[in-house]
Each structure stands twice: as structure tokens, then as C-alpha cells.
Amino acid sequence: MSQALRFLADIPTVHAAERGGQVAVECEGRTLTYAELDRRAGQVAGLLATAGAKPGDRIAWLGRSHEAYFEIFFGAARARVCLAPINARLAVPEIAFILQDSGADLFFVTPEFFAAAQMVVSQVDRPIRLIGVREPCEGFDSYEALRDAAAAPALPPPVAADDVLQLYTSGTTGLPKGVRLDNANYASFLELRTQVEGFDYGPDDTVLIVMPLFHVAGTNISFSGLAAGGRVILLPEFSPAAVLRLIEAERVAHIFLVPAMINMLLQAPEIEGADLSSLRSVAYGASPISEAVLAAATERFGCGFIQFYGMTESTGAGTFLKPREHGGALLRSCGKAWPQMAVRILNEDGGEAAVGEIGEIAISGGMVMAGYWNRPEATAETVTPDRWLKTGDAGYRDENGYIFVHDRVKDMIVSGGENIYPAEVENAILGCPGVADAAVIGVPDERWGEAVKAIVVPAAGAAPEPQDVIAWARQRIAGFKAPKSVDFIDVLPRNASGKVLRRELRKPYWEGRDRNVG
């Protein structure tokens, strides 16, 4: 890593000097060189100063992936202002909650969300300045006009304690919380990324971003590509055909995909004959992957696969499984800790669990968040006094130190006193002929408290029978873990990071009951 890259804010300046004419970001045919990114980031810093933004303030972004996102991010980082991108898939009241919570007064919006943004600001109890990106709209100031009229100011340099990103948790339980990621977190990221196999991109590499930029995977993969001086291509909407076309046409070297995306690519008609020879790595994570999908993808893509396990609260860091470790029993592992990070399995008493004992996964190191925004109690519940981040995930460590994730602790099914983790059952089901996707939930059972139910998405043109799915699973896991019933559905509900929304699947089965577990 260049010594000049101390913080993320240094990226445009360093690479403008070294490779100013090279494309930094490309989106839908529009290009932004490193020299242009550096100049525009300076102008954004001036824009923010003129608008009254002060160090420590938040500004908000709502939109599709767009090159202006990086102009605004780097400009804000220079001005010591924190960017809070909002999940564009949320409903208006949910967006309004986050905007209210963030305290942001400047709201940058792309055209697809102009109408939603106007409804949002009517639900916030303070004046919000709407700034439209790319197109004019009544009630919005023009981002481009404001940027181009601004001059880069002389500013004191950023410091380690400055928050640079505030990413909101998905809110699968309770209200979303703003995760404060500061310059110190990303200084660790800039140092460690080059020590993680398959994540150390080079200046000649093209990195394709299909994850949204309000997700830590979208931001981190982008930052890694830009830190290397490479070319980052943004695909605003995931489409298997578009992904396969871009990999071939642009000679993409690296991509991050959630398992659901990998599965969709494998099932896309365009996969036949697609030239994927440029790929050097496919990173994946954010939700469990089945061994069958991973094995098929490894064979078809013909490149190294790297699994990342982490959280927004750990700046995405935690463990990684190297390409050469993808085989045998380790296909079910998420690997070992990042360099200079540590991972423990905690038992119910808060001590370290024995080898093979299931407990809660905890992460420690320089990339653990600064805390939740204005949520000291939630921060204290999640991060211990000695800075261990409790993930809420259940897992165990094997005798060689590899970590295996079972599931979210809260999604565990208790049936007849036995603990059953949905991800383990899903892994046993996926690979069954005629099954494209599957999720497992606990449903009420008068005898056992909860019974295991599989919700299955049939493969195109297939009509698997419930008893066949159950029999397939029983051949692979203990009988008490196998589903007792199977329902079929067209598509599984997922959040923006690809996680199955099991609470939505459970809802009809627990309706009218006081609690949603047995």
C-alpha cells in the first residue's frame, strides 16, 4: 500500500498524481478519471462548506449506484463530513425514519427516487435541502450546478476519529441502527486488504460492482478497487445477462456476489457459452451458500472463490476462506480471521467455547465499528468493554481453527428440546433435483413446540414432490433436523444484502399467536 494512502480521502489525490487519465469509475457508459474524481471531490468539499456542513455532520444519499456517489463520498471525507447512504429498497416511512435519525440536512437523490424523497421530507421534523443528481426537478437544487460553482477550499486534514460512513443495519429485527465507520476503521481496511488473498487488487484490474452502495460489500469492494488504482464498473441493477455480458466485454477480473446472485447466474440461459476467462476471483458472502451451488459455480467460473464473513459493524471484516481452501469439509467453513483481526466462539457464560461447541461468534480488531449512532445502550449490548463485537451468529471452531457458521442465533429452531439451525437444513436440501432455492423455518407444533418446515422454490420446469425433498435431506442430516413438511413458493423474500427474510416466511404460520417461536 502506498504510504500516502492513510485514509480513504487520500485515494483520489494519490491516484490523480500517479494515473490521472485512467478511468476510476464507469457507470452505464459514463466515465470518471482519477483526475476528474480528485477535482470534483474538492468541489464537493467546497459545496458542503458553502451549504454550512461542519465536521461531524451527516449528509444523506438515496439513489441507484452512480459515479456521483464517489464524488460526494470523497468530498465529504475531505470536509470531515459523514455520508449516510440509505437503502433504496425501503418504504417511504422507513427511509424517513433513517433520514430523521441521521440528522442529515442535505439529501442527495437520483431521479428514480425524486418522488419518494419529496414524500420522505414531509415526514421529517426539520428542513431538508433536496439536491438532485443528474436531472433537474422542481423542488431540488442541481447537484452538478452546485458542484461546478464551488471551489475546493483549504481544509485541515481528516483525523482518525472522523466518521466517514454511516451504514444502517437492515432492520430484520427492530428499527435500523446507524453503524458509525470512521477513518480509523478504514485505515485498518486499507492496510489489511492487501494481506487478504484474492482481495489485493492491482492497478490494471477491472472490478465489477453489482452490490448496492448502501451495503458494506458494495462500498468495500469499490474502495479496494479504487485504493489499488484500478477501474471500478458500477451496474446499478443486478441482471444475470448484464453481469455475464460485462464480465466478457470489459474483461472483469474481480466481482463480489451474494449466493442468491451466484445461483441466478448459474441458471441464466446466457451462462452457456459465456467467456468468463478474465475472472481471477469471485468473492461471496452476506448469506449462507449451499455446497451444491458453490461446487457448480467453482467449476463453471473457473477462478478462485473467496468467502468473506463479517458484518457492517466490523466494516465487513471477520473471516475469509481462501480459494485453495475451497474443498471437502471446508466448503462449509467461512475460513479463519483476517490478519490482525481475531475471532472467538463465546459460550452462554461469555467464555470461550470448546472446539466443536456451538456458541456466538465474536470479532475483535481495528475494523470493529466506532459504535451505533446515538444508541449507546445498543452499542454496549453489541460491543463488550474490551472491544469484542458480538455478531448474533451461531457457529463453532474446528480443531484446525476454521470457523463454521450455523445461523443467526435468533433464527434457531427448538424442536423437542433440540437446537436446529436453518442454514444447516437448507444446505442439505439445496442440490436436490428440481430445487432452485430453499429456506427453512420453525412452525408451530403442539407436541414438539416447533417443527421444521422447508419453503422451496422449484427450478424452472420442475415440480418436486415434498416427500422427495424430505427424503433427500434425511440422507444428509439427522432425522430430527430434516423438514417435516414442504411448501412451495415462486421466490423467497430477501433484503438488500441477500439475506432471506425468515420473519416474512414465518408470519402466516404464527398468526394469532403470542410469540413467533415454540
Q: For 414-469, write each residue's pLDDT tens digit.
A: 776 566 778 778 988 998 999 999 999 999 887 677 889 999 999 999 999 999 99
- pLDDT score, position 170: 63
Say what the pLDDT of residue 417 is. 57
Q: Please state at what angle helix 291-301 crosses helix 259-267, rounded to 10 degrees.
A: 60
Residue with cell 432452485: 436
- Please give the pLDDT value at position 419: 65
Alpha carbon separation from 382 to 114, 188, 378 (Å, rounded): 36, 21, 6
Mean pLDDT of 37-59: 97
Give the range of the structural domain holding residue 419, as residue numbers without chain letter.
412-510
More confident residue, 140 or 409: 140
Average pLDDT taken over every residue of the chain: 91
Contact 34, 16 (CB under 8 A): yes
Query: Is 494 contained in some domain?
Result: yes
Cell (9 digits) for 315: 466494516
| Contact status, residue 415 vs residue 450, Cβ threshold 8 Å | yes
* Poorest-pLDDT segment among 39-53, 148-162, 325-339, 396-410: 396-410
Share of the chain above pLDDT 70, in %: 94
| 127 pLDDT higher than 90 | yes
pLDDT band at 517 (very low <50, low <70, confident <90, very high): very low
Let me know if residue 317 belongs to a domain: no
Cα distances from 487 to residues 75, 259, 288, 423, in angstroms, run 50, 22, 21, 17
| Per-residue confidence (pLDDT) for residue 138, from 0 to 100 | 95
Residue 492 has pLDDT above 50, yes or no: yes
Percent of the chain with pLDDT over 90: 73
* Residue 173 pLDDT exceeds 50: no
Say how many residues make up the chain.
Answer: 518
The predicted structure's pLDDT at residue 513 = 60
Q: Is the pLDDT of residue 3 over 70?
A: no
Burial (Cβ within 10 Å: 0-12, 13-18, ≥19) of residue 22: middle
Highest mean pLDDT among 143-147, 254-258, 502-506 belongs to 143-147
Could you give phi then psi for residue 106, rounded to 5 degrees?
-110, 125
The phi-psi region of residue 121 (left if phi > 0; otherwise alpha if psi is between -120 and 50; otherwise beta) is alpha
Cell of 69: 456517489
* Spatial distance between the Cα atoms of 25 and 206, rounded to a whole number of angstroms: 10
Measured on CA atoms in the order 144, 148, 153, 157, is the torsion positive or negative? positive
In a domain, 462, yes or no: yes
User: H or E segment at 182?
Assistant: strand 178-182
Cβ distance 5 to 227 under 8 Å? yes
Would 454 be classed as within a structural domain? yes
The reply to whether 312 falls in a domain is no
Predicted confidence (pLDDT) per residue in 80-105, tens digit: 999 999 988 887 888 999 999 999 99
> Is 70 part of any domain?
no
Higher-confidence residue of 446 and 285: namely: 285
Domain holding 457: CATH number? 3.30.300.30
Of 48-62, 123-137, 228-242, 487-501, the range with the lowest mean pLDDT is 487-501
Range in 57-61, 258-262, 294-298 the model is least confident about: 258-262
Higher pLDDT, residue 483 or 93 = 483
Asked, for residue 284, whether it belongs to a domain, the answer is no
Do residues 312 and 179 lie in contact, with contact meaning Cβ atoms separated by under 8 Å? yes
Full-model pTM: 0.82
Number of domains in the chain: 1
Residue 297 lies in a domain: no
